[in-house]
């Protein structure tokens, strides 16, 4: 915990305890965290913007396509140097790392997370890496929220709430969408919807939006003015769009996990950098719109300028042919997921939120163009379908249907499209959920049993620390020990009724319980004839320290009916967990959760 030796801080804490209630102080902290998250987001956006300004000089414009190949590798190399020489620490994906900190680290996020993503994410995206800044913004804000809570000695539950406030603040500042930001924090971070948590989220979200307005003015990342109203006759097309975006979300997720696993086989970060850098450079050379986050593509398609969105390509194509335009847009959508994940694989730092929006944007626009040009006399609003395509991908890839609905509704400045937003979001989410059980943010955590959800029972078990329920004060027996030795040096000296048997390598062999030897305890003729190897037997089950989470451990107790189970750590005997101690710890943690 940060040092509290400075007198001013110590005096402030004493004053706080005397004159400010806990709830009032949480409200004040939520405003502060919102402001800090907003400042972190503003800094990320400005740093990225200034890096890109360097490449708009006339000198660079003359070699634009060639530099699309070179710039991303330069950015990735700079990030590699910073990681290897300066930070010397792993920088995980922002939202996934924050979720892990909430579920397994009691909301404690290292201080280096405040500046790590703040430096490396702008270098990655600014030099052309095909990633977003939303994830790093959440990472920076969450680290600020966690360390602010630790500085002022707030408890674990408040620390987690302030992390949620920081996430909402980062989202609100990025898109100037405070309501969607609150829903994002609740949906992604599984925060409780209660008055005690809702008010801090509101305060943090508003604080972050005001901060963004103060430093960036009224400019927004996604500029859209709703001109075409929702037509009831278009419902069938919206349903079809939902199916397309649902399948596209499955594709996006599968590509992400597949390419991620491909890069994991290379232990050397330098090798990953070379392979990933060459791959992303090649993709950007042939498909320049993949460069950077992709706000230019989205804004140009939303205002109906597909030529500006596609930009200059190295191919001599007839862009007056609408089907060539459609093919190029579909290519951008297909390769955006590949380019994004390759950037991550090469060591880049960024987020998946914005690339998801880009893919949905181009797919929605291409879908509308296909309907309008297939010669069946159909006509739909390209701008509306472009916008709602973003909703479908967001709902599917991120498993955040409510965030998708309210973010797009806030961007449009109204609720004219609420019906198609709900249709596409619900169907796309349902399709993706069927094929991909968890989002990109949460799949690995869920597989390890480390994902916080709205299920309080599972959350309570998840946050329990196995080391706090393992008991190690058992007398250990060796298989060659005779009955007399067991009675004299184990049974007589222990208050326990079972004794683990291990070999010379400390590997667990079995257990001897008091009931197993009770009938022969007073038969002196057996003291030198019977050994532990002949008395021991297998236990009802074994708990693996490295792989078994608390949910698995509880299931093992239920299925075995045992009251005590041995724990093996690194292949060696470690101790025992008793059902009674586990349930006691569970009840205490449940009380903490429901306070």
Q: Predicted confidence band at 206 (pLDDT cuts at 50, 70, 90)? A: very high
pLDDT score at 423: 93
470 is a domain residue: yes
Last residue of a domain, one of 424, 457, 490: 457
Residue pLDDT, tens place only, 408-445 = 888 776 578 888 999 999 999 999 999 988 777 776 66
Q: Indicate which CATH number applies to the domain containing 181.
A: 1.10.3080.10
Residues 301 and 416 in one domain: yes
The residues, any chain, with a CB within 8 Å of residue 49's CB and separated by 6 or more, are 126
Give CA–CA dist 521/480, Å, rounded: 18
Given a cut of 80, whether residue 382 has pLDDT beyond it is yes
The residues, any chain, with a CB within 8 Å of residue 390's CB and separated by 6 or more, are 298, 357, 360, 361, 364, 404, 408
Residues 256 and 359 in one domain: yes
8-state DSSP, 487: I
62-66, 143-147, 165-169 — which is least confidently predicted?
62-66
Given a cut of 90, whether residue 523 has pLDDT beyond it is no
Given a cut of 90, whether residue 255 has pLDDT beyond it is yes
Give CA–CA dist 91/119, Å, rounded: 11
Pair 76, 273: CB distance under 8 Å: yes
Determine how β-strand 572-578 pairs with β-strand 564-569: antiparallel
pLDDT score at 485: 86
Q: Predicted confidence band at 32 (pLDDT cuts at 50, 70, 90)? A: very high
527 is a domain residue: yes
pLDDT score at 336: 92
Pair 98, 50: CB distance under 8 Å: no
Range of 154-168, 219-233, 456-470, 576-590 with top mean pLDDT: 154-168
Residue by residue, DSSP assigns 233-285 as: GGHHHHHHHHHHHHHHHHHHHHHHHHHHHHHHT---HHHHHHHHHHHHHHHHH
222 is a domain residue: no
pLDDT score at 88: 75
Give CA–CA dist 95/38, Å, rounded: 16
Residues 193 and 239 in one domain: no
- Give the residue among 460, 455, 449 at the shortest CA–CA distance from 593: 460
1 is a domain residue: no
Reduced to 3 states, what is the DSSP secondary structure of residue 500? strand
The residues, any chain, with a CB within 8 Å of residue 247's CB and separated by 6 or more, are 431
Q: Which residues pair with 559 in a beta bridge?
A: none
176 is a domain residue: yes
- Give the residue among 488, 483, 569 at the shortest CA–CA distance from 526: 483
Residues 450 and 537 in one domain: no
From edge to edge, which strands make up the β-sheet containing 543-544?
470-471, 572-578, 564-569, 543-544
Give CA–CA dist 101/97, Å, rounded: 6
Residues 73 and 199 in one domain: yes
Give CA–CA dist 473/12, Å, rounded: 44
Last residue of a domain, one of 457, 490, 519: 457
Give CA–CA dist 355/283, Å, rounded: 15
Residues 394 and 359 in one domain: yes
Q: Tell me the average pLDDT across 452-480.
A: 73
Residues 452 and 473 in one domain: no
pLDDT score at 236: 93
pLDDT score at 445: 65
pLDDT score at 65: 59
Residues 362 and 274 in one domain: yes
Neighbour-count burial for 443-458, b at 16+ CB within 10 Å, e otherwise? bbbeeebbbbeeeeeb
Q: Predicted confidence band at 368 (pLDDT cuts at 50, 70, 90)? A: very high
Q: Give the H/E segment covering residue 378.
A: none
Q: pTM for the full model?
A: 0.78
Q: Predicted confidence band at 1 (pLDDT cuts at 50, 70, 90)? A: very low
Share of the chain above pLDDT 70, in %: 88
Given a cut of 80, whether residue 196 has pLDDT beyond it is no
pLDDT score at 4: 44
Q: Tell me the average pLDDT across 245-262.
A: 92
Residue pLDDT, tens place only, 5-17 = 467 767 766 766 7
Number of neighbouring beta carbons within 10 Å of residue 92: 17
pLDDT score at 418: 86
Reduced to 3 states, what is the DSSP secondary structure of residue 169? helix
Q: Tell me the average pLDDT across 351-370.
A: 92
Last residue of a domain, one of 216, 244, 274: 216
Domain, as residue range, for 316: 232-457
226 is a domain residue: no
pLDDT score at 195: 57
Residues 342 and 371 in one domain: yes
pLDDT score at 586: 74
| Alpha carbon distances (Å) from 483 to 327, 475, 477, 517, 544 | 81, 14, 11, 9, 30
Taking each helix axis from N to C terminus, what angle separates 579-594 and 550-560, rounded to the nearest 10 degrees? 130
Range of 13-22, 95-104, 205-214, 434-443 with top mean pLDDT: 205-214
Number of structural domains the chain divides into = 3
pLDDT score at 95: 77
Residues 481 and 559 in one domain: yes
The percent of the chain in helix, strand and coil, each rounded to the nearest 5, is: 65, 5, 30
Residues 533 and 395 in one domain: no
Give CA–CA dist 461/586, Å, rounded: 7
pLDDT score at 591: 61
576 is a domain residue: yes
40-44, 452-456, 530-534, 565-569 — which is least confidently predicted?
452-456
Burial label, 18 (beta-carbon count in 10 A; 0-12, 13-18, 19+):
exposed
Phi, psi of 157 (to 5 degrees): -65, -40
Q: Tell me the average pLDDT across 313-331.
A: 85
Query: Higher-confidence residue: 203 or 492?
Result: 203
58 is a domain residue: yes
Q: Tell me the average pLDDT across 226-253.
A: 90
108-112, 113-117, 411-415 — which is least confidently predicted?
411-415
305-314, 357-366, 468-477 — which is least confidently predicted?
305-314
Counting runs of H as helices and runs of E as strands, what totals does the chain give? 26, 6
Residues 188 and 243 in one domain: no
8-state DSSP, 409: H
Range of 27-36, 288-297, 571-580 with top mean pLDDT: 27-36
**Angle at CA of residue 385, ends 380 and 387, nearest 5°:** 150
Give CA–CA dist 71/65, Å, rounded: 10
């Amino acid at each position: 915990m940060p040092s509290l030796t400075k007198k001013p801080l110590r005096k402030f804490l004493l004053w706080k305890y005397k004159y400010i209630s806990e709830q009032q102080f949480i409200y004040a902290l939520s405003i502060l965290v919102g402001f800090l998250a907003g400042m972190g987001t503003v800094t990320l956006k400005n740093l990225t913007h200034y890096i890109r300004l360097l490449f708009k000089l006339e000198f660079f414009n003359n070699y634009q396509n060639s530099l699309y190949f070179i710039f991303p590798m330069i950015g990735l190399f700079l990030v590699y140097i910073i990681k290897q020489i300066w930070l010397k620490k792993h920088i995980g994906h922002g939202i996934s790392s924050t979720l892990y900190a909430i579920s397994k680290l009691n909301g404690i996020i290292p201080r280096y997370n405040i500046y790590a993503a703040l430096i490396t994410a702008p270098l990655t995206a600014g030099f052309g890496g095909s990633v977003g800044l939303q994830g790093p913004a959440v990472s920076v804000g969450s680290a600020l929220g966690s360390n602010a809570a630790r500085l002022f000695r707030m408890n674990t539950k408040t620390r987690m709430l302030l992390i949620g406030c920081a996430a909402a603040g980062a989202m609100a500042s990025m898109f100037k969408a405070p309501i969607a930001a609150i829903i994002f924090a609740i949906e992604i971070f599984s925060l409780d919807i209660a008055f005690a948590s809702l008010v801090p989220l509101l305060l943090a979200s508003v604080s972050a939006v005001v901060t963004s307005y103060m430093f960036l003015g009224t400019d927004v990342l996604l500029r859209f003015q709703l001109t075409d109203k929702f037509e009831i006759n278009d419902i069938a097309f919206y349903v079809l769009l939902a199916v397309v975006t649902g399948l596209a979300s499955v594709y996006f997720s599968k590509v992400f996990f597949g390419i991620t696993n491909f890069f994991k086989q290379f232990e050397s970060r330098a090798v990953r950098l070379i392979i990933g850098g060459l791959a992303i450079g090649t993709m950007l050379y042939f498909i320049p719109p993949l460069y950077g986050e992709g706000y230019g593509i989205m804004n140009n398609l939303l205002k109906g300028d597909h030529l500006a969105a596609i930009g200059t390509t190295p191919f001599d194509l007839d862009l007056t042919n609408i089907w060539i335009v459609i093919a190029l847009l579909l290519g951008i959508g297909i390769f955006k997921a590949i380019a994004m994940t390759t950037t991550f694989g090469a060591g880049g730092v960024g987020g998946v939120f914005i690339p998801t929006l880009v893919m949905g944007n181009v797919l929605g626009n291409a879908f509308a163009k296909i309907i309008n040009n297939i010669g069946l006399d159909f006509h739909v609003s390209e701008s509306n379908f472009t916008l709602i395509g973003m909703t479908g991908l967001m709902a599917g890839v991120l498993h955040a249907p409510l965030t998708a609905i309210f973010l797009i509704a806030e961007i449009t400045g109204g609720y004219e499209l609420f019906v198609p937003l709900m249709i596409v979001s619900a169907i796309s989410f349902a399709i993706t959920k069927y094929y991909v059980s968890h989002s990109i943010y949460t799949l690995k955590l869920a597989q390890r049993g480390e994902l916080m959800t709205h299920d309080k029972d599972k959350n309570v078990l998840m946050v329990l620390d196995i080391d706090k329920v393992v008991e190690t004060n058992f007398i250990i027996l060796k298989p060659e020990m005779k009955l007399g030795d067991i009675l004299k040096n184990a049974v007589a000296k222990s208050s326990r009724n079972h004794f683990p048997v291990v070999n010379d390598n400390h590997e667990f062999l079995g257990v001897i319980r008091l009931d197993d030897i009770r009938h022969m305890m007073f038969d002196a003729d057996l003291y030198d004839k019977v050994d532990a190897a002949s008395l021991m037997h297998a236990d009802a089950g074994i708990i693996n320290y490295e792989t078994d989470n608390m949910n698995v451990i509880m299931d093992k107790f239920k299925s075995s009916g045992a009251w005590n189970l041995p724990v093996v750590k690194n292949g060696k005997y470690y101790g025992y967990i008793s059902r009674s101690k586990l349930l006691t710890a569970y009840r205490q943690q449940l009380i903490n959760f429901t306070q």
